[in-house]
Amino acid sequence: MNRRQLLQAIAAASLVGASGARAALERAVPATGERIPAVGLGTWLTFDVGPGAERHARGEVLRAFLAGGGRMVDSSPMYGASESLIGEEFARIGRPSGMFSATKVWTVGGLAGRRQVEKSRNLWGLPRFDLLFVHNMLDWEAHLPTLKEMKSQGRVRYIGVTTSHGRRHDLLERIMRTEPIDFVQFTYNLNDRSAEERLLAVALERRLAVVINRPFDGGALFGRKTAQPLPGWAKDIDCASWAEAFLKFIVSEPAVTCAIPATTKVDHVRENLRAMSGPMPDAQLRRRIAADYERA
């Protein structure tokens, strides 16, 4: 067994419950052992809407996500009106117990970053965030000291950095190896598997939680290939849709803690949450899923 296989075995062991059955609903945050659902809710583009019917519809998506057992909601000041929408909905329904709030710093300069975090906290209506990222590593050398200080003061529980679209993996890997962070966020899906080259293994080695953005490649996974019926292996992992299969491919990777698909539809958020139940693909089936998608 090589080093990566050993690290994967250690991570996979965290999915086995006391009864010995695989518990796919939650994954452990390596820094603390806290468990969070393997499918969260992203808000990029989808929640950036003004007053009216669309905003009400996004509130229904958030309510359906929480009612279905979802907990991890991810946003950013970059996402326009998303944070204000989340805060308004929480003010309406009350902040659910156990909710895991994640947002980002996306500006230049330490002072601007501190002000932005405070504005985001007020928009969400929270006493503190569970997780703060430096978004796309923008001015990360200025912001990480601020986030470290906030964590030491108990003003945030976890900190990390993000990237997306397969960009700047060299810099992200350097930060992962040298900075005392808890989480990373990057893109991983069947169209973009570049994270397999190094990032997933480094996350296991450094015991970092991994949040996957763009799990559907911004919707690009769906189209000609998914117009075909699901392959036979879908029954083996209780998948009734391609969306479930795509998410199970991601969250069954031992390094992954949570995937954050975004959606504008209640039925889609329920479909996404179903990916947390039933059997998960093993390493052999994951390779087959990837190969079948490439050939389709």
Q: What is the pLDDT of residue 117?
A: 98
pLDDT at res. 95: 83
Average pLDDT over residues 290-296: 90
Give the C-alpha separation, 296 to 184, whole Å.
31
Domain boundaries, the chain: 34-218+225-295
Instruction: Provide mean pLDDT across the span 227-234.
Output: 93
From residue 72, alpha-carbon distances to 26, 109, 176, 268, 282 in Å are 11, 28, 22, 16, 25
Q: What is the mean pLDDT of the chain?
A: 92
User: Rounded CA gap, 215 and 211, in Å?
Assistant: 10
Q: Average pLDDT of 39-51?
A: 96
pLDDT band, very low/low/confident/very high, at 22 (cuts 50, 70, 90): very low
H/E run at residue 72: strand 72-74
Exposure class string for 55-87: b at 16+ Cβ within 10 A, else e: beebbebbbbbbebebbbbbbbbbbbbbbbbbb
- Would the pLDDT of 5 be above 70? no
The larger pLDDT score, comparing residue 69 to residue 23, is at 69
CATH class of the 34-218+225-295 domain in this structure: alpha beta
> What's residue 11's pLDDT?
46
The pLDDT value recorded for residue 24 is 40
> What's the pLDDT at 82?
97
pLDDT, residue 112, reads 98
- Each residue's pLDDT tens digit, 211-220: 999 999 999 9
Average pLDDT of span 94-108: 93
The predicted model scores a pTM of: 0.91
By the 10 Å C-beta count (0-12 exposed, 13-18 middle, 19+ buried), 213 is classed as buried
pLDDT of residue 78: 96
The mean pLDDT value for 172-197 works out to 98
